[in-house]
Amino acid sequence: MRHRVGIRGEFLLALALIDLVQCYRLSFPTAETLASTTTQFLAIVLPLPVWGAIWGVGGVLCLVQAFMASDRFAFAAASTLKVGWALTHVAAWVWGVPQAWWSVAIWLVFARVVHVIAKVPERPELVIPSTPTGGVP
């Protein structure tokens, strides 16, 4: 775990925050959240705490792998989770939940951004060798 957090790690930390906030929102919904037709549809598909646990697992994976040299599982899970969330909203839209199409667009674009960042290699650190006298070689 000595790997420094680079650009990819920073992005995974942002994803971890989003996923963990979503976990909390679904695990402990407010009255306003429960009144939403989208939330009501989601609760029919799976209990809200199960949705919360799914988002929580994704968030923890992103958090842990942000500090690791190998982070492909976090990126794969993050992208898959966002595509799955978008597809769930497609179902909500088909079943008549108004405005669910907007969530579909947002989450699919977000999944694409995750996929694109996942393909960006981490920039190697520049190491300047030193000579025994401390001067430039």
Q: What is the pLDDT of residues 36-90, one digit of tens each?
A: 999 999 999 999 999 999 999 999 999 999 999 899 999 999 999 999 999 999 9
The reported pTM is 0.84
CA distance 68 to 93: 38
Cα–Cα distance, 5 to 18 (Å, whole number)? 18
**Residue 101 CB neighbour total at 10 angstroms:** 14
